Chains A and B, each alone.
Chain A
Amino acid sequence: MTTIGDVKEIFAKKGLHFEHLPPEDSLVTGIEVVERYVTPQGDSKVVLNIRYVSKEGELSDLFLCEGKIKRKRKVAPPPKEAPKPSKLEALPMRPSFEFNSESEAIAQVKEAISHLLRDKDYNEGEQRESDLYFEKLSAGFFLNLTPRFDEAGLHKAEDLIDLRMKYGSDNNYGLVAPAFQESLGISLLQQEHWLRSHGELLAAHRIGVYTVNNKNPNQIFPFTIYPRKDRDLASYFMYTVQQWPVMRDKYIEYRAEREKQRTVTSPC
């Protein structure tokens, strides 16, 4: 049987403490929360109606307990520092934002996403229906690669929706592209328009869209959604999602500077 001592201990573990209680060896026959109040500072005050058996027989009285309830944070806060690979060496930086060809861009995004997933304990698996396939425990990660956010890119994303229909919601699905596709024919404005037009559809089907920083393959930005169950990976994306506006501004600055230099050097 539960005693007053047990009740005291259980509430103390939660961070709530009683001022007055009956003797600890009294048996408890019932507990009811009468009122609960949480102050703006997060302190809780709970009035309990406790029925217990003492020498005088079965009694019932109100008791106040106070304290700060220790709650587990459901979502971990984003890391304060840039996430570094924990197991593998960081990938080397590229010298410029531009790609000379589609194949160069695809090779870059393939290497970057594979490196990230390997670092987070995913293993490459055998599978022919997507460009890349990784596994961690029983969960798969189907990835398609595209050099541009265009019609072909959308088809690749739609293929992932079909794969989700086939393999179910226990797996993750993602489309990976370079972060800046201007050297491949798609302006940043068009890229963002593509995401605005199709982002909702892809998010509805839980298809993640990821872009790899053209210069730094260790930085991958998530759009739409990213896997939440894998805490390590979620923590990485929680940091990089905030870095996208910063990187975007840097790129616009770089592009303006490049245009300025072109105007200066080109003959009138």
Chain B
Amino acid sequence: MFLEMTEKKFTSKDLLRQLRPTPDLAYEFSNEEVLEAAKYFLRYVGYTLEEKNWKNEPVFYANRREGGVTYEILGLVRHSMKEVADGVAQLKKIKRELGEKIEYVIALPPVQERHLIDYMAADNYKLYKDLRENTLAVWICNPQEKSVWCPQGALKDKRFTEYFKVRFAGDLMGMLATMPYRGDKGEDRRHIIEELMEE
């Protein structure tokens, strides 16, 4: 049996139509699993966990004391990049109540790097600017690997760098500068990076 051949030329647009959209998550994990992974990671780094709830929102809170300094961290879990903006709003409220001394984190399951950047870059980098202005960190937690990667934000406690899956401190700038798929030309991207760094 022969396949029917069409006279129409097969274009790159046809090819793109046949491709499946990239899923939000690289690996699927529930919020509970991510919460447990974040708690495990904090214990791994040497933090002491304390039970804390914030208006029925499950949050994780831990602290560590070293040389007269107490590091405190509080975080909540969101399921994908789509929910990060909501997480930022929640953490802003918590921060207003609990203060600046604590560091705040949004924990996510392993999201696709492309989604991570696209969501942060949407609406003239609204989410990225929001995270940066409020000094919030994003953690990508892999409960199976028991590993955490920090693609955005830097924590005061430098001990974390020894335990993150990727050693260098995360920042969108680095990812943006090296991401090959983005349509913007090198020069445009350079301007964006420069503008963001100036802000």
| A contacts, CB < 8 Å to B | 161, 164-165, 168-169, 200-201, 204-206
Contacts and interface: CB of A to CB of B under 8 A. Distances in A.
A161 B40 CA distance: 12
A102 to B, nearest CB: 29
Given A165-B43, A165-B44, A168-B46, A201 B162 contact: no
B112 interface: no
Contacts of A200: 145
A200 B46 CA distance: 22
B162 A205 contact: no
12 contacts: A165-B43, A165-B44, A169-B159, A169-B162, A169-B163, A200-B145, A201-B145, A201-B146, A201-B147, A204-B145, A205-B146, A205-B147
B92 interface: no
Contacts of A204: 145, 147, 165
A161 B46 contact: no
Interface string B34-78: 000000000110100000000000000000000000000000000
Contacts of B145: 200-201, 204
Contacts of B163: 169
Contacts of A161: 146
Nearest to A206: B162
B125 to A, nearest CB: 29
B186 to A, nearest CB: 19
A117 to B, nearest CB: 22
Contacts of B146: 161, 201, 205
Contacts of B159: 169
A150 B165 CA distance: 24
A93 to B, nearest CB: 38
A205 B164 CA distance: 8
B155 to A, nearest CB: 15
What are the 9 A-B residue pairs with the smallest beta carbon separation, nearest first?
A: A169-B162, A204-B147, A204-B165, A165-B44, A201-B145, A204-B145, A169-B163, A168-B46, A165-B43
Interface of B: 43-44, 46, 145-147, 159, 162-163, 165
Contacts of B147: 201, 204-205
A61 B43 CA distance: 57
Given A165-B43, A204-B145, A206-B162, 8 more contacts: A164-B44, A165-B44, A169-B159, A169-B162, A169-B163, A201-B145, A201-B147, A204-B165
B30 to A, nearest CB: 20
A164 B145 CA distance: 15
A251 B111 CA distance: 41
B15 to A, nearest CB: 30
Contacts of B44: 164-165
A74 to B, nearest CB: 14
Q: Taking each of B43, B159, B165, which has the highest tally of chain A beta carbons within 10 Å of its own beta carbon?
A: B165
Nearest to B41: A165
A168 B44 CA distance: 8
A161 B46 CA distance: 13
Contacts of A201: 145-147
A164 B146 CA distance: 13
A161 B163 CA distance: 11
A201 to B, nearest CB: 5
A220 to B, nearest CB: 24
A134 B167 CA distance: 25
A161 B165 CA distance: 13
Nearest to A202: B145
Q: Taking each of A200, A204, A205, which has the highest tally of chain B beta carbons within 10 Å of its own beta carbon?
A: A204
Nearest to A158: B146
Nearest to B44: A165
Contacts of B162: 169, 206
A213 B163 CA distance: 31
A171 B131 CA distance: 34
A169 B44 CA distance: 10
Nearest to B46: A168
A103 B46 CA distance: 37
A161 B146 CA distance: 10
A168 B46 CA distance: 8
A224 B46 CA distance: 24
A54 B52 CA distance: 66
